[in-house]
Each structure stands twice: as C-alpha cells, then as structure tokens.
Structure 1
Amino acid sequence: MQNWAVFTGDIVRSSDMGAQVLGDVFAALESAAKGIGCWPDSQTAFARFRGDGWQMALPPIYAMRAALVMRAAVRTTGKGHDTRFGIGIGVGHLTGNDLAGADGPAFLQSGHALDTLKRAPRMAAPDAPQHLRTALPLADRIALGWTQKQAQVVLALLAPNAPTQDALAQSLGRSRQMTQKQADSAGVSALLDCCSAFETQK
C-alpha cells in the first residue's frame, strides 16, 4: 500500500440539472483530474459512481491544491454549480486506475467524511493533518464566492505549471487587466500561498 489523498464527492443540487448539464459537470471534473495527474510527481485515478457521485485518488502533497481545482472545475460549468467532498489521507490499495476495487484507511476516511458533511462547508478532511483541516474551511468560504469567469482563471492559475497571465488572458479572450482583476477577486494569490505552505509542510 502507498499513501493517497482520496476525495469522495457528489454534485450539489444535481437533481435540478438535466442529463446534459450533469454530463458537462462530470466532463469538467474528469478533465481537471487528468490535469492534476500531469502535475510534477503526480498521478490520479478518477471515477464517477452512483449517478452524481465521484471519487479521485492522488498524491497527498497536492490535497489542498487539488481540492481548489476540483471546486473551480465545477464552477466553470455554470452559475451556482458546485460539488462537495470529503478527503481522506493515508494508506490505500489501488490497482492501476481502477477505483472500484480500491480499499484502505484513506478510502474509508474519505467516504465517512462525505457522509458526515453537513450542509456547509462543502469540503472537509476531519481525519487529515491539522494544517489541512484548518485551511479547508477558509478556502471553502472563498470558493463559494467564485463566479464562473473567476473559476476559469482559478482553474488555470492554481496549476503548478500555470500559464502566464498574458497567455491565460489570450486563451480566454480577455484583456490582461480583466484577467488580473478576476484573479485578485478570486483570491488566487492567497490561495497559492496556502497551497505552497501545505506542500512544504514537514
């Protein structure tokens, strides 16, 4: 077994979404998970289950950054769209990318964290190290305020290999000034500092 950060989540108010919209949400989640798997020294496994449920496993060092990226991915798909999830960190057994047969404490903790998650906040890691437990509620409050356009900026800029703001602005068809304003309003700089602090924690 090796150490994993395991996310177990579902889509907020999925019953209000049509099949096409829900499919778009899951396409965004899966794309984000694949992107996380391309980060340095990373790998991911992602699966959809129970209609509106999903699970992802990734290296624990990226737990904080990935939590924000997955939230941003969903919020890019439409106004008010969101996901909630529990995070478990610890040992787990995973064969290849097949989450169906995965087991171990990290997977159990993640499922339990989702099952006990109240209406708010929308992400929690009750059995994780204290620095993650402390940071998540603050990050959650910030993420709740992201607009769709802000989430697009967050999704790009939180990656370790993020594009320059000039390149991002060009890809989004916006001015650099607007992109900077959206990044500032979304709290990107503070969130990046939080991610870096978590990733260098001994």
Structure 2
Amino acid sequence: MTQLAVFTGDIVKSSDLDAATLDAVFATLRAGAEQIGGWSGATAPFARFRGDGWQMALPPRDALRGALVLRARVRSEGAETRIGIGIGDARLTGTDLAAAEGPAFVTSGHSLDTLKRSLLMQAPDGPLSIALPLADRIARTWTPKQAQTIAALLDPAPPTQEALGATLNRSKQMIQKQAEAAGIDALHAACAAYEAQW
C-alpha cells in the first residue's frame, strides 16, 4: 500500500441543478483532477458515482491546495461541493477507483458521512483538520469570477496575473482585485505551511 489523500464528495443541492449544469460541474471537477495530477507528475484519478457523488485520490502533500482548487472550480460554476478527506494507506491499481481499497478510502467516506451541516470540507485529524474549517470559511465567500481566478492562481506554478487576465478576458487590475478579495495571500501561506511538513 501507499500513502494517499482520498477525497469523497458530493454536489450540494444537486437536485436543484439541471442536467447541463450538473454535467458542467463534473466536467470542471474532472479538469481540476487533471490540473492537480500535473503538480507532482502523478495522476489524480477521478470518478463520478451515484449521480452527484465523486471520488479522487492524490498525493497527501497536495490535499489542502487540491481541496481549495476543487472548491474553486465548482464555485466557478455557481455550485458547491462537500468534501470528506482521508489520508493514509491505500491500494490503487492504475486509475480504477472502483477497485481501490485501504484505510484512506474508509476514512474519506466516513469524513463525508459525518460532515457537520456548518462545514463543507472535513478531515478527521492532523494539520489538515485544523486548516480546512478556515479554508472553508474563505471559500464560501468566493463569487464565481473570484473562484475562477483562485483556481488558476493556487496552482504551484500559476500563470502571471497578466496572462490569466488575457485568458479570462479581464484586465490585470481586475484579476489582482479578485485575487486579493478571495484571500489569495492567506491561502498561499496556508498551503505552503501545510506542504512543508511533507
């Protein structure tokens, strides 16, 4: 077995979303998994299940940054996702999450099942359990455009604000304003502190 961070999630109030919107949410989650997988050169397998549920596996070092990027991507579509995280031993054959097993998968599912109504992200213990409630509080304030900006700028090798502005058809000044309003500096500091322990 190897150490993995396992995310188990679902889409908040998915029954209120039309099929096209829900499909767009899952497309951006899948794109987020590809983005995260590129950070360490490892894959971040992603799977959708039970209509509005999903699961992903990634290196433990990327857990906080990854959770924030996925929250940002979903919020950019005007929706929300809940995320339960488990970190520990896991057995994964290729990218097939359906056949995966291990304590990290059990813990992740339990974290989602026991998530308090006041939170959208949870890990049972360790530094991640301390950081997630604060990160969740910040993420809840993001507008869709701020979330779009954050999803790109939280990348370990982010684009310049000028380049991101060109991609999103916004001025560099607008990107800077959105990033600051979304708490980018505090989020970078928290991610760096969390990642330093790995």
Q: TM-score, normalised by structure 2?
A: 0.98
Which string of whole-angstrom CA distances, capped at 9 and with x for unpartnered residues, describes residues 131-161 of structure 1? 2111110000000000000001000000011
Structure 2 distance, partners of 1:163, 1:48, is: 29
Query: Which amino acid is the alignment partner of residue 133 of structure 2?
Result: P
Pairwise CA distance, 1:199: 0.4
Partner of 1:8: 8
* Aligned with 1:194 (options 169, 190, 194): 190
TM alignment of 1:29-178, pairs within 5 A? 29-78=29-78, 81-127=79-125, 129=126, 131-178=127-174
Structure 2: distance between partners of 1:174 and 1:19: 29
Contact 1:43 1:59 (C-alpha < 8 Å) held by counterparts: no
Tell me the secondary structure at the aligned position of residue 151 of structure 1. Answer: helix
Runs of 4 or more above 2 Å deviation: 40-43
Q: Where do 5+ consecutive residues of structure 1 fail to align?
A: none
Number of positions where the alignment pairs a residue of Structure 1 with one of Structure 2:
198
| Bigger strand share | 1
Task: Work out the CA distance in 1 between the residues paired with 2:84 and 2:34.
Answer: 19
CA drift of 1:43 comes to 2.3
Shift of 1:50: 0.5
SS at 2:7's partner residue?
A: strand
Identity of aligned residues (%): 61
TM-score (norm 1): 0.96
The yes-or-no answer on 1:18 pairing with 2:18 is: yes
Superposed CA RMSD? 0.9
Output the CA distance in 2 between the equivalents of 1:156 and 1:42: 19
Give the C-alpha shift of residue 41 in structure 1.
4.1
Distance 1:196 1:7, change over 3 A: same
**Distance across 1 between alignment mates of 2:4 and 2:40:** 16
